[in-house]
Structure 1
Amino acid sequence: MSLSAPPRLLVVDDEPDLRTLYELALLREGYDIETAGTVEEAWTLLNAARYSAIITDMRLPDGTGLDLLRRLEQAGRPEKTIVITAYGSAENAVQALKSGAYDYLTKPVDLRQFRSVVASALGRGLAVAAAPAMRGAGRLTRPAAAPVVADALQRMGGRTPVMQQVRVLIDKVARSMAPVLVHGESGTGKELVARAIHQVSQRAGGPCIAVNCGAIPEQLLEAEFFGYRKGAFTGANEDREGFFQAASGGTLFLDEIGDLPLAMQSKLLRVVQERAVRPVGAMAELPLDVRIVSATHKDLACEVAAGRFRQDLYYRLNVIQIRVPPLRERLDDLPLLCEAVLARVAGESALVEVPRLTGAALQSLAQHPFPGNVRELENLLHRAVALSSGGLIDVGDLGLHEASAAPLAAEPARVVPAEPVMGVVDAVALPADLVAYLDDVEREVLVRALEHHRYNRTAAGAAMGLTLRQMRYRMARLGIQVAGDALTVDDAEPLGDLVP
């Protein structure tokens, strides 16, 4: 087949009328179509020619679409396969994706969605229109025109077997549209895995939208995810796209999916099943062309058992799971990770020389438990570069002893003012103003928590058992503000006895 020849597709279905319908729909798009009615007929054609993609029904007279998928896998065939299943048979759809199908469709097939899925499988129609800037917890990123495959993978770093396995899975799942659930502790690099999946897939030319599900107020979730129409509610002065529409042709990364309320989980399930979204205030649904990658630090199976997460949504999102190992399981990667982080810090700070760790400093890091994983390592090295006096970073520059001696959950009652004004009772100095004293202690703990979690209010609050609303209340009361990557603290007046 010459370079100018149209893509050749194979349609496998035992119903002649459906074969004709699919063939006509695809011929109009300029494809070269061949058809078969059974698994054996399809295999005969496959032995004689190569195809760009295969569209097969699940149920066939002499087998199933899964049988055809297995043969293709065993033969090492490169064709992408789209499986058509009966309406409501979610188990078959999930099984098809796990067996290597690029995507699936449910009967009765919507021809517009049918053409869209085929175009996506062939890498067509992914040119990205200028999308509006997303606000709040969503971030829109577009890969550069230069090679992008290495970006996220390089930032992940590491050559240990567990990280090699992560890379193998990323490469494998990037070939399909199967939903992926990335699981790992806080700070392990789950978002980097999601971005790597996007960058090595055919969707790399489209947008990658990252959404922190726990950072959006519950009453705004539907409007933020699905968009809205002008006049849908007070303040809706114009039509606005949601995260799903902004991710069209690309990937939607749903971070901390376990934090979604049950009501929103139901609406998300419908979107995943129907491949369509209805903006708030709209009458009609809009078809979607979006790859979903989710992430969580929670055990969603336990959340399902506890009734906090829908089982049907869990099965839909957890088609393929990638576990990102904590740093303590890949300490052999520590020297390589440190080199990469220090090189990045040096570049960002315009340093002439990249700082280096002494042997003692590296050994000290290797003995640290790293509850914050790679993110904590990055924070430690950022601080060490700022505190070190030369090109070498020693143990004292890391501040590990200080960090272990002052945990976030420090007891306020043990903090004693340097210059007590009142007398002493049982050798413990009493403050002259107990309210101001406790405010100072709380302010110090909140600031340390925010710095530890890179100014993420949701994560900092969760580390201390606070909801995002409680965290916001305390920050406002104590005059703590996050500005970019820095904190400012004002001498705020108490807001009164509000209930956080």
Structure 2
Amino acid sequence: MNKQRLLVSWIGGNDLNMPEGQMTGPIWATIQATKFDVIELIYNYSDDEIKPYVSLLSERVNCKVHARKANLSSPIDYEDIYIAAEQLLKDVVQSDSELSILLSPGTPAMQAIWVLLGKTRFPCTFYQASKEQGVQVINIPFTLSAKYVPAATKLNQSELNNLARLEAPIDTAFDDILTIESDFQVLKSQAQILAQQDVPVLIYGESGTGKEMFARAIHNASTRKDKPFIAVNCGAFPTELIDSILFGHKRGAFTGAISDKSGVFEQAHNGTLFLDEFGELDAVVQVRLLRVLQDGKFTRLGGSDEQSSNFRLITATNKNLINEVAQGRFREDLFYRVAIGVLQLPPLRMRQGDLDFLVDSLMQILAKEHSVLKGKNISYLAKKVIKEHKWPGNIRELKATLLRAALWSGSDCIDEAEIRQALFIMEGKKESLLDRDIHQGFDISHILAEVESYYIVKALEQHDGNKSKVAKLLGYNNHQTLSNRVKKLGI
């Protein structure tokens, strides 16, 4: 008797983001490459998004297609994912089943649970599908004993991530930094390496990209995690109080100094000092900082006794400090003292592969904080609006927009119109590509990439994803050249 060939998979954003009437994504690629008798899918999206996909898939294949919704509090909650995935496999795997599991769709947490279950209680063939390498059978080179599978409530997040990625686990201090993009995962790995090395760190990034979140994660993953984390906004220093803020003061040092007060360097002793908006420091303050950064010694304002502090310094800025040094606005010796470990956080508009995941994750997080979001989700068309927006305020703006849209939404599903209403369009701040401020500095390759991405996406949308036609219209040699640019630009 022939065994029933069964494919199990999460439905991911790359499966749903397909041109109208066309099938794309890892699930479709795998079905095209290998024949199955039954396809069992599990999802964490709204039914409105899933039903059209499942309906079209069922029409295109000669086998049974079933889909069930998973009740997850978050797409990265291991306990909920474990319970949902285990129950699915219990329900669908029969004695005559030849089980295959597709790892590609879903979050790293979902992939990790598949690996755990597939290597213990549900023997299977693992598949992986990507545009670059096609559909492949994946050999996971280790075995697990079922008796060592922990209870769902005991699952260790970093160890399960390790199962999915087969690489060094990220410290749990970085769990709140949400991403599924490989480039951003690399940033988290680099930050973890820096956390273990007691060196100064400089974090670049636009407002709202998560600079302070990275700084706190580095502190919490370091040997100083049980000591103070002192955060200071350098752009908010009143000129007359700079010395007091930085170094503290003695009683009577100036009018209003009614008692002794410690400065931020003293408060950060044995811990971490985070100086945000570091590029805003004027020349006078830069000079005052230099000595304490050199030897950790300072004197309180109005005092005579020299004190010392053993602190770890993390700085952050949205300015290109190299350009500031070149223009004479920032001290070169100070720059090289703080820029030992350097992290460059990309703006949200450059994280297109993360947007669906971030929206779903933020909705889950906000639902725990605000009852008005409980049970709400985002429609497919609303997510398209989100992807088209430039997000000048980055993650902070996205979070506020989702909350604002939920407050105004009258149903369980936030639609396209409600997202548009919740967006703030600041036309006055829009810069012409030909009118950028040279003094602020910018990477011209990013501007060229922005223009190229805009027209590629526009052309693909207008011509139903026909790459040959788009390549001809936009002057590329052939559709393969266009495909290479699409990959390079992260479209």
Question: TM-score by structure 1 length?
Answer: 0.50
Does the 8 A contact of 1:162 with 1:330 survive in 2? no
Of 290, 296, 299, which residue of structure 2 is paired with 1:278?
Answer: 299
Instruction: Give the superposition deviation at 1:387.
Output: 0.9
Does residue 336 of structure 1 match 2:357?
yes
Instruction: Give the superposition deviation at 1:321.
Output: 0.5
% identical equivalent positions: 38
Does residue 229 of structure 1 match 2:250?
yes
Change over 3 Å in CA distance of 1:190–1:364 after alignment to 2: same
Of 376, 383, 392, which residue of structure 2 is paired with 1:355?
Answer: 376
Instruction: Give the superposition deviation at 1:399.
Output: 2.5
Instruction: Give the superposition deviation at 1:159.
Output: 1.6
| Counterpart for residue 200 of structure 2 | 179
Of 311, 314, 339, which residue of structure 2 is paired with 1:290?
Answer: 311
User: More helix by proportion, 1 or 2?
Assistant: 2
- SS of the aligned residue for 1:233 comes to coil
Distance 1:312 1:352 in 2: 50
Letter in 1 for 2:264: F
| Counterpart for residue 150 of structure 1 | 172
Instruction: Give the superposition deviation at 1:355.
Output: 2.0
Does the 8 A contact of 1:149 with 1:199 survive in 2? no
Does the 8 A contact of 2:405 with 2:422 survive in 1? no
Distance 1:249 1:279 in 2: 18
Distance 2:375 2:211 in 1: 27
Per-residue deviation, residues 226-270 of structure 1 (Å, max 9, x unmatched): 111111111111100111111112111000001011111111110
- SS of the aligned residue for 1:294 comes to strand
Does the 8 A contact of 1:254 with 1:294 survive in 2? yes
Distance 1:385 1:212 in 2: 31
Does residue 372 of structure 1 match 2:393?
yes
Letter in 1 for 2:352: L
Structure 1 runs not aligned, ≥5 long: 1-147, 411-500
Instruction: For CA contacts below 8 A with separation 6 or more, give which structure has more relative contact order.
Output: 2
Instruction: Give the superposition deviation at 1:285.
Output: 1.6
Instruction: Give the superposition deviation at 1:400.
Output: 5.7
Of 312, 317, 328, which residue of structure 2 is paired with 1:307?
Answer: 328
Distance 1:178 1:232 in 2: 34
Does the 8 A contact of 2:385 with 2:420 survive in 1? no
Distance 2:423 2:209 in 1: 23
Does the 8 A contact of 1:343 with 1:354 survive in 2? no
Distance 2:398 2:293 in 1: 36
| Counterpart for residue 224 of structure 2 | 203
Does residue 250 of structure 1 match 2:271?
yes
Instruction: Give the superposition deviation at 1:200.
Output: 0.5
Letter in 1 for 2:172: A
Per-residue deviation, residues 346-372 of structure 1 (Å, max 9, x unmatched): 111135734211111111111111122
**CA RMSD, 1 decimal:** 1.9
Of 407, 424, 433, which residue of structure 1 is paired with 2:427?
Answer: 407
| Counterpart for residue 326 of structure 1 | 347
Distance 2:191 2:373 in 1: 35
Structural mapping, 1:383-462, within 5 Å: 383-399=404-420, 403-404=424-425, 407-408=427-428
Distance 1:354 1:266 in 2: 54
Does the 8 A contact of 1:218 with 1:261 survive in 2? no
Change over 3 Å in CA distance of 1:304–1:291 after alignment to 2: same
Distance 1:386 1:401 in 2: 9
Letter in 1 for 2:257: A
Letter in 2 for 1:238: S
Letter in 2 for 1:249: N
Distance 2:423 2:188 in 1: 36
Change over 3 Å in CA distance of 1:295–1:166 after alignment to 2: same
